């Protein structure tokens, strides 16, 4: 069990303790205040070098990691993979060794292969590696920002400061994760985070989009999406991942939407306090109707905004390690 991510790589949320998760969420709260300043910068990582290596497409994760690193005053090396020597056939190992020769403190890595972040952490054991999404495996900062957003909204509703609530707001919280579970690294990280924090998690998906090892997950599988909707305090929708072949796992997108899409008609049956979440990018009209994405209960843009303080917290804790002051 990992009891703190201080000074360590962050490859997965599996086996990260409730205390370690709360430490990240509380650290991120302190960085929300930095965002409200006129000069949105702190010197916490001044003189440190963070490489941003995205071997797979990204908008939210890449921009928020690079923003986070710059707000901490780190120097950011951003590799444009499409115009790099990767296109000439350079291996991942050689690419990492080349960048490491420039003097690195941390690597933020997105890669289509499950396990790529762990592999890189073995190539450069002196560098902190932060997994920004590897294949079907994990997307730890997405799991963290989802939990952070839920805690923030629930604390606001109760007139509390999020950090004074610790993990108490998750105790017994009912989270329903819906859609392309089998291909989703977000689902795996979300389940790890929510369960460690004390929530109950159910998953709903066509049988073809459930992983074969789902029985080993700490979740309940529900057959009837409509029944589960009214149970949920939080609904986490997942993108149908066509780049990983999801199209061949469902008879048609229309059938998926009919059985597991959050349509406007289904959204009308939700309890008013139920939160609607999606990690993005959204396939409007597939996982959810366009009007649903724009409801007040949909906190999708807030998830994106919270990517910056969460990634600041992760960079700060993993790279700066022991020093607790934000400055």
The answer to whether 281 contacts ligand CP (rule: CB under 6 A) is yes
Question: Would you say 78 or 259 has its CB closer to ligand CP?
Answer: 78
**Nearest Cα residue to 148 out of 297, 12, 249, 24:** 24
Q: How far is the CB of 306 from ligand CP (least distance, A)?
A: 12
Q: Is 152 in the site for ligand CP (CB under 6 A)?
A: no
Does residue 280 belong to the site contacting ligand CP (CB under 6 A)? yes
* Position 279 contacts ligand CP (CB under 6 A): yes
Q: What are 288's strand-pairing partners?
A: 262, 284
> Cβ-closest residue to ligand CP?
61
Q: At what angle do helices 18-35 and 300-315 cross, to 10 degrees?
A: 100
- DSSP 3-state assignment of 195? helix
The beta-strand segments (E) located in 59-105 are 75-79
- Does 18 help bind ligand CP (rule: CB under 6 A)? no
Q: How far is the CB of 53 from ligand CP (least distance, A)?
A: 13
**Cα–Cα dist 115/136, whole Å:** 9
- Write down the least CB distance from residue 186 to ligand CP, Å: 7
CB of 311 to ligand CP, least distance (A): 11
CB 315 within 8 A of CB 275: no
Taking the C-alpha atoms of residue 65 and residue 80, their distance in angstroms, rounded to an integer, is: 15
Is residue 142 at the binding interface for ligand CP, with CB under 6 A as the rule?
yes
Q: Measured between alpha carbons, how far is 90 from 113 in angstroms, rounded to an integer? A: 16
Contact pattern for ligand CP over residues 47 through 76, marking x by CB under 6 A: -----------xxxx---------------
Q: Which is nearer to ligand CP, 261 or 279 (CB)?
A: 279
Q: Which residues contact 216 (CB under 8 A, 6 or more apart)?
A: none
Q: Minimum Å distance from CB 138 to ligand CP?
A: 12
Residues that bind ligand CP (CB under 6 A): 58-61, 133, 142, 279-281
């Amino acid at each position: 069990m990992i009891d703190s991510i201080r000074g360590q790589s962050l490859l997965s949320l599996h086996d990260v303790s409730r205390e370690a998760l709360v430490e990240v969420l509380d650290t991120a709260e302190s960085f929300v205040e930095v965002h409200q300043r006129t000069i949105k910068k702190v010197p916490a990582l001044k003189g440190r070098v963070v490489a941003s290596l995205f071997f797979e497409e990204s908008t939210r994760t890449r921009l928020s990691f690079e923003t986070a690193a710059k707000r901490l005053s780190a120097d950011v090396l951003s590799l444009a993979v499409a115009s790099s020597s990767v296109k000439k056939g350079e291996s991942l190992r050689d690419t990492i060794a080349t960048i490491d020769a420039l003097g690195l403190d941390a690597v933020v890595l997105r890669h289509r292969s499950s396990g790529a972040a762990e592999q890189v952490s073995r190539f450069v054991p002196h560098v902190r590696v932060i997994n920004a999404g590897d294949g079907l495996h994990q997307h730890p900062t997405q799991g963290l920002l989802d939990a952070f957003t839920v805690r923030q909204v629930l604390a606001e509703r109760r007139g509390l400061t999020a950090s004074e609530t610790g993990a108490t707001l998750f105790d017994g919280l009912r989270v329903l994760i819906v859609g392309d579970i089998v291909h989703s690294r977000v689902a795996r990280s979300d389940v790890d985070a929510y369960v460690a924090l004390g929530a109950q998690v159910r998953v709903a998906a066509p049988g073809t989009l459930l992983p074969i090892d789902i029985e080993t997950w700490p979740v309940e599988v529900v057959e009837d999406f409509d029944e589960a909707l009214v149970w949920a305090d939080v609904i986490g929708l997942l993108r149908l991942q066509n780049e990983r072949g999801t199209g061949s796992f469902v008879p048609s997108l229309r059938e998926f939407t009919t059985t597991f899409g959050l349509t406007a008609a289904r959204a009308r049956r939700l309890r008013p306090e139920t939160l609607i979440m999606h990690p993005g990018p959204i396939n409007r009209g597939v996982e959810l109707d366009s009007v649903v994405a724009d409801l007040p209960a949909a906190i999708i843009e807030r998830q994106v905004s919270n990517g910056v303080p969460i990634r600041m917290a992760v960079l700060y804790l993993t790279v700066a390690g022991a020093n607790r002051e934000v400055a």
